[in-house]
Chain A
């Protein structure tokens, strides 16, 4: 099933639509967002230079840092009275990234999420167990709204409390699970331990999984242990949240909803646009966003685009499942973290040095994060209690500021691996 006619528009018509929407977006940001006014002026561009969607390459890029520099609402193109929702993610230097939605942005978000659910074969007869985190993150509420839009019954269970989630999923006869793939595997593992007969006790038919890079092997594992169809969703809060693209029943690749989000692949070093099929950094321009229109946003995600027709009938371009990052961003249980954020938190804690190392690993199916911190003479070295207090303090600061639960390990001085004298800050032991 296909939710919207927009998904099957002939390419020429789609391009026309994209052109007119891009022009509107450019005119609006040029008119009201000082950041873009200045950028356009620096590059000697006026809105009239944009005659077709192909001219998008003349426009400046937007980076995550730009959103932070304009914290909180400097990039917004509407006044507060038009904003109906705010979401936010953790920031590098304490300042988070803030995104906003008008009523019409919410309609677009619900619309693209409805497409996602329809694409995954879900309708009003389904019960969706939504284990994405609710709150400031876009995951939980974004998925929630989409499920409601197609008329499904939503169970807003959010993350954690695995045993209780299993009980609800069984008793409510949920047919769809939405979560990170690693949490889906963790749930299956727990279900087995608690004596559930997975195929008999649960009525699941499919799941919509995303928010973390996932290997083909892991996807097959989720499919196999639950006996369900695996759909993959992609999105990021800066663009809208979940619902930028989703895989259909015919292909593992994800259709990008191109009438709302215009994708490009660029060389992450030079910024040069690469042709379809080539691997590079995904760049997205929002075509309909009102509160926070974004021009050529550098997602940092590496993928490639495929324009060959899909058997499902949709004309929208497909992106490969994200293959990696252009920067050092880590995704731990669906939460994005930059090592610089960890360093910033550590730098505000007294009595410790910045000789640290972040180790990402798998504990069962879930990600685990360990942070090693070298001890120094300045630490209260004669007291176990005081050292344990430092450990706890680091742990709670990371949890409060970055929403990550890390194990803190104090280690001897100079025990953190150095490469050519430079400490190695991140070790990712999770193999994709």
Chain B
């Protein structure tokens, strides 16, 4: 239930590429819940969580994008000093290596999205639950 299907999409580093991507999603009534752009010199990666990942993947592929699912999980934290530290500490204690993380806000709470090594996924989620942290349920994002 904690596995969120994040879409990783390859886009070339040229004008209009990102708007092509967002346009395809919006015209197909897909809502972007979170988005992160990572860039290299001549290409970029979009990591996004949407309300209907299966549909989004299919229509993006129909429109010539290369899309891959990556399993990630989200952790809710309060906007107070030390809350993010708690999350990281819990993962660190369990020897979980974080591949990347990004965050966004919903009202006054923050949600941090984490990517970890595949075989450490369940262990990571468990370590957070054990530390009494709130791991977001995937259905939180989905329609």
Contacts and interface: CB of A to CB of B under 8 A. Distances in A.
A384 B38 CA distance: 7
A410 B39 CA distance: 13
A415 B65 CA distance: 9
6 contacts: A379-B66, A381-B67, A382-B8, A382-B70, A410-B10, A410-B42
Chain B contact residues, majority secondary structure: strand
Interface string B28-51: 000000000011101101010000
Contacts of B55: none
Given A411-B12, A412-B66, A415-B12, 16 more contacts: A381-B8, A381-B9, A381-B10, A381-B45, A382-B45, A382-B47, A383-B45, A384-B39, A409-B43, A410-B10, A411-B43, A412-B11, A412-B64, A413-B65, A414-B64, A415-B64
A388 interface: yes
A310 to B, nearest CB: 52
Nearest to A381: B68
Secondary structure call for the A interface = loop
B127 interface: no
A412 B10 contact: yes
A182 B115 CA distance: 49
Nearest to B47: A382
A375 B68 CA distance: 11
A18 B70 CA distance: 72
Contacts of B9: 381
A387 B70 contact: no
Interface residues of A, number: 17
A327 interface: no
Interface string B55-87: 000000000111110100000000000000000
Given A382-B47, A388-B40, A415-B12, A377 B70 contact: no
Contacts of A413: 64-66
A413 B9 CA distance: 11
B68 A377 contact: yes
A376 interface: yes
Nearest to A374: B66
A373 to B, nearest CB: 11
A391 to B, nearest CB: 9
B115 A382 contact: yes
Contacts of A411: 12, 43
Interface of A: 375-377, 379, 381-384, 387-388, 409-415
Given A382-B8, A382-B45, A412 B40 contact: no
A412 B60 CA distance: 12
A413 to B, nearest CB: 5
A375 B45 contact: no
Contacts of B65: 412-413
Contacts of B39: 384
Most B CB within 10 A of own CB, among A375, A381, A414: A381
Given A409-B42, A410-B43, A412-B10, A381 B115 contact: no
A382 B116 CA distance: 12
Which 5 interchain pairs have the tightest Cβ spacing? A381-B68, A382-B8, A382-B70, A375-B10, A381-B8
Residue among A375, A376, A387, A412 having the largest count of chain B Cβ atoms under 10 Å: A412
A409 B43 CA distance: 8
Contact of B45 (A377, A384, A414, A415): A384
Interface string B117-138: 0000000000000000000000
A388 B39 CA distance: 11
Given A375-B10, A412-B12, A384 B40 contact: yes
Contacts of A412: 10-12, 64-66
B24 to A, nearest CB: 12
Which of A382, A410, A414, A415 is packed against the most chain B CB atoms within 10 Å?
A: A382
Which of A376, A377, A387, A415 has the largest number of chain B CB atoms within 10 A?
A: A377
Interface string B1-24: 000000011111000000000000
Contacts of A383: 45, 99
Given A412-B10, A412-B11, A412-B12, A382 B68 contact: yes
